[in-house]
């Protein structure tokens, strides 16, 4: 088992790892940092994603990191960020990744606005090439968005961040995936419906959202109110600008079809006349060298025992918004509402009726010793211990939003109080409302 030394620590900052000299910070997230690095032997630049094992354990996302590494090990394509090596110390995991100089496609669109159809089609062709290759390898990304598409110095795209990806072993007996995950504006309607979904079909939807933004400069589905946003996605309520060519309009229309059964597939996209214009298919690089992954890198659970015990007290209820924050290598919190179950808000979807949800919530919190007030559908859950202050106090607002007749969103908002009590409440509600760990894949 190989353990790599993290060298030249200066002011708490790691200056080197193995044969890589670390430089400026490129991004920062929940697990650690992404730093520019240079191979001291060859001089070649890389990006090193430095993950803190303790934070991975505390956030209960060991499997997520393992699946990201497992996915990237399979992928060698010019339009997918390459994983070159995985190293580790006793406290950190270091993923040595291809360095992409141009940054996120998000910033390219934000600074330049919409692209011309010719330029946008070229990027879309590369995106579809990369996604098609991933699917052929059995990898479904599940979080495709502008922030996870990088642009290199030549203007070519690289798909990145496979923290929410799924592999064939994650399929249920029905052949479908069931984890609700992804970014709100890019997520496919069938993912929100909690009835199982095809990873390739849902990735195609996200590609359609990306195409729309590339060609128009704005999102097809957007609203500050989450319930309204979900309703727009379910309806496929998208306004396609008339100034786009008929080919581009049709491409967007057939991809952003809310019915996954009739939505165009990735292979069908590649046969579309508008898509095929000036199309130069990419060649994969499967003949390249194997990735060097030291066994120690995957020994994420080798942490102090007390840290492991803390991870077991974390709530088992995980929603899409938490997963976004935990998987992102960059700090993108300003682009979506921060939600942390240990601090304030959490939302999850349920197929129960609004009446059943409210009744179950009332029964559960009453059994737990909380007082509850129901005012116009807004539940106020309160626990006060004036005599035994050590037991803590808590105030939580609970609301149920209807997305469709068969789908509702439950939102919990902590007003004040003990974080551990809040976690206990969330865990109990997740079990009683049918959102259990068995329904989660990560």
The pLDDT tens digits for 99-137 are 998 888 998 898 888 999 999 999 999 999 999 999 999
Residue 400 scores a pLDDT above 60: yes
Confidence (pLDDT) at 133 = 96
List strands edge to edge, sheet with 16-17: 6-7, 16-17, 20-28, 32-39, 45-52, 92-98, 83-88, 292-293
**Mean pLDDT of the chain, nearest integer:** 78
Q: Locate the domains of the chain by residue range.
A: 6-100, 105-276, 339-439
What confidence tier does 419 reach under pLDDT thresholds 50, 70, 90?
Answer: confident
CATH architecture of 105-276: Orthogonal Bundle (1.10)
Q: Which segments within 89-232 are labelled E, that is strand?
A: 92-98, 149-151, 157-159
pLDDT of 353-399, one tens digit each? 878 888 888 888 888 888 887 776 667 777 765 444 444 577 788 87
Confidence (pLDDT) at 176 = 87
| Interhelix angle 117-136/199-216, nearest 10 degrees | 170
Once rounded to an integer, what is the mean pLDDT over residues 161-187?
Answer: 86
CATH architecture of 6-100: 2-Layer Sandwich (3.30)
Known catalytic residues are 143
Confidence (pLDDT) at 333 = 29
Radius of gyration, alpha carbons of the chain:
23
Residue 213 scores a pLDDT above 90: yes
Q: Which segments within 263-417 are labelled E, that is strand?
A: 292-293, 345-350, 371-375, 378-383, 394-404, 407-417
What confidence tier does 293 reach under pLDDT thresholds 50, 70, 90?
Answer: low
Confidence (pLDDT) at 76 = 93
Once rounded to an integer, what is the mean pLDDT over residues 243-272?
Answer: 97
Which tokens sit at 430?
């997740």
Query: Are β-strands 292-293 and 83-88 bridged in parallel, bridged antiparallel, or unpaired?
Result: parallel
CATH architecture of 339-439: 2-Layer Sandwich (3.30)
**If you search the block for the tokens 């609700």, which residue do you land on?**
180
Confidence (pLDDT) at 343 = 46
Cα distance between residue 352 and residue 429, in whole Å: 13
Which secondary structure element, helix H or strand E, spans residue 16, and what is its range? Answer: strand 16-17
Confidence (pLDDT) at 355 = 82
Who wins on pLDDT, 330 or 197? 197
Confidence (pLDDT) at 211 = 97
């Amino acid at each position: 088992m190989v353990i790599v030394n993290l060298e030249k620590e200066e002011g708490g900052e790691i200056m080197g790892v193995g044969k890589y000299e670390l430089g400026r910070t490129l991004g920062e997230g929940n697990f650690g940092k992404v730093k520019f690095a240079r191979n001291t032997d060859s001089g070649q630049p890389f990006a090193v994603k430095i993950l803190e094992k303790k934070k991975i354990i505390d956030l209960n996302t060991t499997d997520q990191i393992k699946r990201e590494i497992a996915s990237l090990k399979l992928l060698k394509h010019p339009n997918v960020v390459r994983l070159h090596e995985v190293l580790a110390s006793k406290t950190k995991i270091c993923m040595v990744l291809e360095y992409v100089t141009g940054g996120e496609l998000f910033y390219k669109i934000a600074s330049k606005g919409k692209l011309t159809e010719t330029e946008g089609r070229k990027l879309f062709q590369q995106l579809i090439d990369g996604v098609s290759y991933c699917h052929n390898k059995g990898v479904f990304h599940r979080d495709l968005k502008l922030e996870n598409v990088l642009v290199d110095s030549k203007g070519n795209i690289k798909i990145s961040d496979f923290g929410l990806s799924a592999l064939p072993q994650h399929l249920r007996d029905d052949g479908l995936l069931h984890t609700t995950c992804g970014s709100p504006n890019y997520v496919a309607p069938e993912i929100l419906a909690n009835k199982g979904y095809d990873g390739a079909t849902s990735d195609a939807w996200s590609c359609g959202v990306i195409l729309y933004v590339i060609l128009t400069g704005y999102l097809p589905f957007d609203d500050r109110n989450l319930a309204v946003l979900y309703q727009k996605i379910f309806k496929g309520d998208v306004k396609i600008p008339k100034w786009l060519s008929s080919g581009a309009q049709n491409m967007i229309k057939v991809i952003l079809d809310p019915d996954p059964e009739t939505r165009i597939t990735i292979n069908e996209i590649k046969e579309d006349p508008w898509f095929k214009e000036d199309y130069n298919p990419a060649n994969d690089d499967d003949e390249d060298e194997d990735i060097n992954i030291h066994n120690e890198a995957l020994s994420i659970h080798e942490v102090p025992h007390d840290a492991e015990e803390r991870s077991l007290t974390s709530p088992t209820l995980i929603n899409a918004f938490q997963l976004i924050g935990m998987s992102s290598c960059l700090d993108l919190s300003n682009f979506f509402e921060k939600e942390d179950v240990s601090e304030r808000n959490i939302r999850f979807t349920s197929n129960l009726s609004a009446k059943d949800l409210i009744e179950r919530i009332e029964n559960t919190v009453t059994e737990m010793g909380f007082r509850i007030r129901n005012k116009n559908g807004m539940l106020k859950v309160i626990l006060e211990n004036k005599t035994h202050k050590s037991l803590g106090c808590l105030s939580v607002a609970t609301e149920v939003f209807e997305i469709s007749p068969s789908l509702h969103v439950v939102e919990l908002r902590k007003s004040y109080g003990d974080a551990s009590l809040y976690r206990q409440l969330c865990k109990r509600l997740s079990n009683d409302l049918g959102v259990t760990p068995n329904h989660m894949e990560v």
